[in-house]
Amino acid sequence: MGVLDGNIFEGMRIILPEHKDKMSKIEHESKKKKPSLTEDEMAEMQYTLSEALQQELAVRILIHGPDGSKIIEGIPFMKGTKLLIETETGNKELTVKHILKVDLV
């Protein structure tokens, strides 16, 4: 409801500097944190990834990022010590510590 709809307080809304700081702090703290994985989940993920690397199989990888999780699909491969995935849009480097789940496609 806006000012024209009869809400006379709509135009008087302001944010004090101390409230703005508090709001940004809350927003920063509310960013999703990476869930912890059990040893079984990590072992299963490692087995699936190594199988996909050896047989050049397509995988679906769930990646944790600062804004939440995203899914990447493609064929993983190693280049030196780096883990990369070949997707439709090109090659992307993966950080192993951000991987949450690996499934064969």
Q: Quick: pLDDT tens for 41-89.
A: 999 999 999 999 999 999 999 998 877 789 999 999 999 999 999 999 9
pTM beyond cutoff 0.75: no
Sheet of strand 59-65, all strands in order from the earlier edge strand to the far edge? 90-94, 82-87, 68-79, 59-65, 99-104
Indicate the domain borders of the chain: 39-104
Which of the following CATH numbers is that of domain 39-104: 2.30.30.520, 3.40.50.150, 2.60.120.10, 3.30.2320.50?
Answer: 2.30.30.520
- Whether 76 and 52 have beta carbons less than 8 Å apart is answered as yes
- Whether 57 and 104 have beta carbons less than 8 Å apart is answered as yes
